[in-house]
Amino acid sequence: MTQLTARELDIQIGERSLCRGLDLVLAPGQCWAVLGGNGSGKTTLLHTLAGLLPHHTGAIQLDNLPIDTLPRRSIAQQLGLLLQESHDPFPTTVLETALSGRHPHLGRWQHEGEEDLDFAREALASVDLGEMEERMVQTLSGGERRRLAIATLLTQNPQLLLLDEPLNHLDLHHQQRLLSQLRRLAAGGKTVVMVLHDPNQAQRYCDQALLLYGDGEWESGTCEALLTVERLSRLYKHPMRMLQQGEERLFIPGE
C-alpha cells in the first residue's frame, strides 16, 4: 500500500524556519489533523509533501521513491491535494470541472469514458452537487465551489488525500458530512491528512495529529495523547480550557 514518508524535513518560507527536522509516516488507514496558528507552515508543508515545492533538506518518499524524481502524472495517480483556493477564470460547467480529476488516469488522446463519468457523478452526489452538473462554476456560491473542489479530489480518487482547510466556506451540515466522509475513506484504507482549525473536530474525526508551533518546533502523535490544554494554549498562543462531557473532551478558548 502507498505510504508517504518525510524524514529530517525542514519547512522554510524565505529565511524563516517554520518546522525543523520533521519525521512523518503517513500510512494507509490513518486520518491526520494538522493544527497550527496562521502562518505556521501548514499549507507549505502540504504543498511540499505533494512535491509541488522543492525541499532543500531531508527526504520525502512516496512508496520508497523520492518524490522529486517522480513525474507529476504518477504522483497525481496516487496523491491528491485540495488547495485552499480555487480559480476558474474561464467558463466551465460543474461536471467538466469534476471530470478534470480523471486527468492523471487518462492517456494523452483518451477521452473521458462512462467509468470516468460515473466517478465524477458519484463524487458530485456525495457532496450534494448531484443536481448541479450543468451549472456554470461561475454561478456557484463560495460553499458550493468548495464542495466542487472536494468532488474533483474525490473523482481523482487518490490513495493519499491531503486537504488544506477543507471546511472553509462550508455550512455546519456540510462540515460534519465531509468529516464523516473523510473518516470513512480512511477506515476504507485511504490516507487522509487535513488542515483543521478546530481541535474538537480534530479529536472527533482524526486519529493522528501534527502540531506545528511555527517556531521550528513540532509534535506528532495520536489525538488522544497529543491534544491537551497546555499544548493547545501554546499552539494558538491563547489560553484554552477543557470541558469533560462524559467520554468526550471539549476544548474552548478562554478569555
Partner 1 sequence: MKTIPLLILLILLAALALLLALMVGSVTVSPTELPAILSGESEGVAREIVLQLRLPRALAAFAVGGLLALAGVQMQVLLGNPLADPYVLGISGGAAVGALLALLTGGALLAVNGAALGGALGSMLLVFGLAHGRGAWSPTRLLLTGVVVASGWGAVISFLLAVAPQHNLPGMLFWLMGDLSHADQALPALIILALGLLLSLPQARNLNLLARGELQAGVLGVSVGPLRLQLYLLASLLTAAAVTIGGSIGFVGLVVPHMLRLLVGSDHRLLLPASVLSGGILLLLADTLARTVIAPQQLPVGVLTALVGVPLFLYLLQRGYRQ
CB of residue 104 to partner 1, shortest distance in Å: 4
φ, ψ at 114 (rounded to 5°) = -60, -40
Q: Do 143 and 170 contact (CB within 8 A), yes or no?
A: yes
Q: What DSSP assignment string belongs to 122-185? A: HHHHHTT-GGGTTSBGGGS-HHHHHHHHHHHHHHH--SEEEESSTTTT--HHHHHHHHHHHHHH
Residue with smaller CB distance to partner 1, 136 or 229: 136
Instruction: Enumerate residues 6+ apart whose C-beta is below 8 A from 131.
Output: none
**Residue 57 or residue 74: which is nearer to partner 1 going by CB?**
74
Chain residues in the site for partner 1 (CB under 8 A): 47, 50, 52, 71-77, 80-81, 83, 86-93, 96-97, 100-101, 103-104, 106, 108-109, 111, 134, 136, 138, 156
Place of cell 499549507: 43
Query: Is 80 or 199 the residue whose CB approaches partner 1 more closely?
Result: 80
Sheet-wide strand order for 31-36: 79-82, 160-163, 191-195, 31-36, 208-212, 218-222
Q: Nearest approach, Cβ of 84 to partner 1 (angstroms)?
A: 9
Give the nearest distance from C-beta 183 to partner 1 in angstroms.
23
Shortest reach from residue 89's CB to partner 1, in Å: 6
Q: Which is nearer to partner 1, 17 or 78 (CB)?
A: 78
Per DSSP (E only), the strands in 14-54 are 16-26, 31-36
Taking the complex as a whole, how short is the minimal distance between the CB of residue 233 and partner 1, in angstroms? 34
For residues 63 and 154, what is the distance between their CA atoms, to the nearest angstrom? 21
Q: Which is nearer to partner 1, 80 or 214 (CB)?
A: 80
The whole-angstrom separation of Cα 214 and Cα 108 is: 42
Q: Which is nearer to partner 1, 31 or 76 (CB)?
A: 76
| CB of residue 176 to partner 1, shortest distance in Å | 26
